[in-house]
């Protein structure tokens, strides 16, 4: 029984680390000029959170990231800080402390390239 518990824990840990290691690398220099809508969702039911942001790219650089929809005011404040780091670094995975939700919404904008209309 003890081996089953330990094995289950090891498998769960490996799975969790794999999810956390997801890469959000995008070659911004290859993204056409424009403003794109990114959508990122996680959770289910009552805990279903949707993040939306408009990401502007000009001449291979991220020039602006505007939160469009965040699950809360606190999330909006965190997003603004995370987005500023991404703009400064000109990449989605600007630092290890930025949560996947904020990286995911920008990554989706840059890879899906859905035009943003105000």
What is the pTM for the complete model shown?
Answer: 0.78
Q: What is the pLDDT of residue 98?
A: 74
pLDDT digits (tens, 9 = 90+) for 52-104: 999 999 999 999 999 999 999 999 999 999 999 999 999 998 877 778 889 99
Instruction: Give, in degrees to the nearest 5, the angle at Cα 45 between 43 and 50.
Output: 50
| Interior/surface letters 36-73, b for 16+ CB within 10 angstroms, e for the rest | bbbbbeeeeeeeeeebbbbbbbeeeebeebebbebbee
| DSSP conformational letter for 91 | S
Distance CA 110, CA 49 (A): 20
């Amino acid at each position: 029984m003890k081996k089953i518990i330990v094995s289950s824990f090891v498998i769960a840990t490996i799975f969790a680390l794999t999810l956390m290691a997801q890469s959000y690398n995008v070659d911004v220099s290859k993204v056409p000029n424009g403003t794109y809508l990114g959508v990122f969702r996680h959770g289910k039911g009552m805990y279903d959170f949707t993040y939306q942001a408009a990401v502007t790219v000009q001449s291979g650089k991220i020039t602006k990231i505007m939160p469009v929809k965040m699950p809360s005011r606190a999330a909006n404040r965190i997003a603004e800080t995370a987005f500023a780091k991404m703009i400064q670094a000109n990449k989605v995975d600007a630092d290890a402390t930025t949560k996947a939700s904020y990286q995911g919404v920008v990554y989706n904008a840059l890879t899906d390239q859905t035009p943003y209309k105000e």
